[in-house]
């Protein structure tokens, strides 16, 4: 069912011939990349889902060329799996990969904490406080809002280091964590304990690098145990059926 396929938000007609102030003609390839990235992170595209080039291109109003380019980049970031001659899927990390991601993330964010300890400007400090207050508010009605906010807290911290590479890696790891929690996480345990965020800010402001690092480490560790313990949606049918077989005295080959 080929729907109208509106040509993506990008590059509006622009009434006057002049460039409208700071209007860099951003390549649409990047727009496609961002769109897919968001769709995956927000789980509009679910883990493991097939990603056919032309239907996606149709939906976004671009040709397969651009979609392919986006796939390539997303594959580097581990958000899509690219199988030769068999197309692309939203990545479906194994439990092992999940552990790897969390381990690396812990290392990275520990670095963030160490970097930031004793270097927060009053403005940054205030921004973090405000953010935590938002988290608390959202935590009460426990919507998806809560999840998004706790994620953003960590991104904000990474931004404040001023280290672009560190930010990129933290973002990447975070994205993959979203995927992972979508697969293996409990329904909606809002992943981060707000109180732990508070303590962390405290340590950062006090300039206690070691304590900040330890808090961060522990914080992320507990995210794993809190949210990641129960593998729900199995990837392989065999995993789903195994317990049934056992209870019936059958032995899977």
Partner DNA sequence: AAGAACCGTATTGTATGCGATTATTGAAGA
Partner DNA sequence: TCTTCAATAATCGCATACAATACGGTTCTT
| Chain residues in the site for its own copies (CB under 8 A) | 24-27, 29, 65, 68-69, 72-73, 76-78, 84-85, 97, 100-101, 103-104, 107-108, 110-111, 115, 163-166, 169, 173
**Which of 89/163 has CB closer to its own copies?**
163
Closest CB 180 distance from its own copies, rounded Å: 12
Q: State the binding string over 73-112 for DNA (x if CB under 7 A, else -).
A: -----------xxxxx------------------------
- Could you report how far apart the first and last alpha carbons of the chain are, in Å? 42
Q: How far apart are CA 15 and CA 84, in angstroms?
A: 43
Judged by beta carbon distances under 5 to 8 A according to partner kind, the member of its own copies, DNA, none in contact with residue 28 is DNA
Q: Which residues, numbered 48-77, are part of the site for DNA (CB under 7 A)?
A: 51-55, 61-66, 68
Reported as type and span, the H/E element at residue 158 is helix 144-160
Closest CB 89 distance from DNA, rounded Å: 9
**Which of 38/186 has CB closer to its own copies?**
38
**Which of 63/125 has CB closer to DNA?**
63
Determine the 3-state secondary structure of 115 from DSSP: helix
**Residue the block writes with tokens 């001659």:** 85
**Which of 75/242 has CB closer to its own copies?**
75
Instruction: Please tell me whether residue 247 binds DNA under the rule CB under 7 A.
Output: no
Q: How far apart are CA 15 and CA 18, in angstroms?
A: 8
Judged by beta carbon distances under 5 to 8 A according to partner kind, the member of DNA, its own copies, none in contact with residue 62 is DNA
Q: How far apart are CA 218 and CA 7, in angstroms?
A: 46
Closest CB 5 distance from DNA, rounded Å: 10
Reported as type and span, the H/E element at residue 80 is strand 80-83
Name which of 3, 133, 132, 8 is nearest 60 in CA terms.
8
Q: Exposure string (b/e) for 134-144, b if CB count within 10 Å is 16 or more?
A: bbeebbeeeee
Judged by beta carbon distances under 5 to 8 A according to partner kind, the member of DNA, its own copies, none in contact with residue 86 is DNA
How many C-alpha atoms does 182 have within 13 Å on its Cβ side?
23
DSSP state of 189: -
**Which of 54/142 has CB closer to DNA?**
54
Q: How far apart are CA 170 and CA 157, in angstroms?
A: 10
Judged by beta carbon distances under 5 to 8 A according to partner kind, the member of DNA, its own copies, none in contact with residue 108 is its own copies
Kindly list the residues in this chain that would bind DNA in the complex (CB under 7 A).
25, 27-29, 51-55, 61-66, 68, 84-88
């Amino acid at each position: 069912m080929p729907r109208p396929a509106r040509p993506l938000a990008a590059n509006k007609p622009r009434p006057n011939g002049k460039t409208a102030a700071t209007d860099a003609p951003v390549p649409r390839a990047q727009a496609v990349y961002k769109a897919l990235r968001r769709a995956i992170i927000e789980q509009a595209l679910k883990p493991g889902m097939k990603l056919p080039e032309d239907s996606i291109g149709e939906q976004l109003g671009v040709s397969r060329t651009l979609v392919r380019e986006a796939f390539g980049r997303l594959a580097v970031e581990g958000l899509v799996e690219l199988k030769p001659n068999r197309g692309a899927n939203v990545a479906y990390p194994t439990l092992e990969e999940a552990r790897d991601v969390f381990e690396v993330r812990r290392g990275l964010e520990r670095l963030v904490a160490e970097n930031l300890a004793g270097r927060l400007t009053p403005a940054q400090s205030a921004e973090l406080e405000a953010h935590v207050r938002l988290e608390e508010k959202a935590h009460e009605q426990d919507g998806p809002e809560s999840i998004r906010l706790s994620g953003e807290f960590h991104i904000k911290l990474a931004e404040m280091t001023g280290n672009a590479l560190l930010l990129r890696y933290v973002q990447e790891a975070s994205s993959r964590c979203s995927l992972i929690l979508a697969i293996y996480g409990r329904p909606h345990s809002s992943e981060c304990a707000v109180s732990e965020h508070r303590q962390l800010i405290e340590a950062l402001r006090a300039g206690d690098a070691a304590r900040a690092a330890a808090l961060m480490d522990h914080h992320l560790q507990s995210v794993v145990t809190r949210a990641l313990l129960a593998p729900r949606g199995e990837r392989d049918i065999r995993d789903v059926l195994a317990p049934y077989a056992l209870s019936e005295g059958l032995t899977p080959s």
